[in-house]
């Protein structure tokens, strides 16, 4: 079972997410939190595999909570819940190593799929705003294009193809279909890319790709 913590200061949002995720046989909601302090405490106590954190919460916001979880409970994959207009906060979360982000109006099936992907160790990149976030905010923070291009020199041609798809938010399965390779081979390529670029997750690799103007 995938153990999930849901943290949002709006009870209706939490209830809606719970209702959706409880329809999945392999997902269990182990705790709910109304603020960031509760989220960190409950994630530690319940050994959550995935924490869905709202960006704006009282006591401790989602960004600060995510940073604490990265230190205190590194096994917990943090996914930020956001709305349009909060992209700058999302960029900060991605820089800090969050597994990714989801819009609060994500369709039910996509929400379930995203939790499974996060639990499997992949990044969650909401296709509708991924490029917008990276181009508008992340690129503004990191303008070292020359450095990014030098880092890409360590990649093979096929790895560059894989990285381009990673930057578009593709999962391992989608990469495999697009390049006509096995999912295991796609996963191996992604692992090699992260090591070669010195990145801790797929989101950071996507940022390098953007900085290199791929």
Tens of pLDDT, residues 174-201? 899 999 999 999 999 999 999 999 887 7
pLDDT for residue 49 is more than 90: yes
Residue 178's nearest CA partner among 22, 168, 126 is 168
Model pLDDT, residue 42 = 95
Neighbours of 24 (CB within 10 A): 18
Q: Which residues of 68-107 are buried (b: 16+ CB within 10 A; e: fewer)?
A: bbeeebeebbbbbbbeeebbebbbbbbeebbbbbbbbebe
pLDDT for residue 168 is more than 70: yes
What does the pLDDT average to over 160-179?
89
Tokens linked to 75: 């096994």
Phi, then psi, of 97 in degrees rounded to 5: 100, 10
First-residue to last-residue Cα distance in the chain: 38
Model pLDDT, residue 141 = 47
pLDDT for residue 118 is more than 80: yes
Q: How confident is the model at residue 95 (pLDDT cuts 50, 70, 90)?
A: low
Residue 214's nearest CA partner among 123, 140, 131 is 131
Q: Which residues lie closer than 8 Å to 130 by C-beta, 6 or more apart?
A: 168, 169, 206
Residue 211's nearest CA partner among 132, 152, 125, 128 is 152
Model pLDDT, residue 84 = 57
Model pLDDT, residue 131 = 56
Supply the mean pLDDT for the chain.
84
Q: How confident is the model at residue 53 (pLDDT cuts 50, 70, 90)?
A: very high
What does the pLDDT average to over 40-57?
92
Q: Is 78 helix (H, G, I), strand (E, B) or coil?
A: strand
Ordered by where they begin, the domains of the chain are 2-136 (3.40.50.2300), 144-211 (1.10.10.10)
Phi, then psi, of 154 in degrees rounded to 5: -80, -5
Kindly state the percentage of the chain with pLDDT values over 70.
83
Model pLDDT, residue 21 = 96
Cα distances (Å, whole numbers) of residue 184 to 49, 117, 169, 173: 22, 15, 18, 9
Residue, of 171 and 32, whose pLDDT is higher: 32
DSSP state for residue 138 in the 8-state scheme: I
């Amino acid at each position: 079972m995938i153990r999930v913590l849901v943290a949002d200061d709006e009870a209706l949002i939490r209830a809606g997410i719970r209702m959706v995720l409880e329809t999945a046989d392999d997902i269990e909601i182990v705790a709910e939190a109304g603020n960031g302090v509760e989220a960190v405490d409950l994630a530690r106590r319940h050994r959550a595999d995935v924490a869905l954190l709202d960006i704006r919460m009282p006591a401790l916001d989602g960004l600060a909570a995510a940073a604490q979880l990265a230190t205190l409970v590194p096994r917990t994959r943090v996914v930020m819940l956001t709305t349009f207009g909060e992209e700058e906060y999302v960029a900060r979360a991605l820089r800090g190593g969050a597994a990714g982000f989801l819009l609060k109006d994500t369709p039910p099936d996509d929400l379930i799929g995203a939790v499974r992907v996060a639990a499997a160790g992949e990044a969650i990149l909401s296709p509708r705003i991924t490029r917008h976030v990276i181009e508008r905010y992340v690129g503004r923070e990191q303008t070292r294009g020359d450095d990014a291009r030098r880092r890409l020199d360590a990649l093979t041609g096929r790895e560059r193809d894989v990285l381009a798809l990673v930057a578009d938010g593709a999962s391992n399965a989608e990469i495999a279909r697009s390049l006509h390779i096995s999912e295991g081979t796609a996963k191996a390529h992604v692992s090699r890319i992260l090591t070669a670029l010195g990145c801790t997750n797929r989101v950071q690799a996507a940022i390098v790709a953007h900085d290199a103007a791929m």
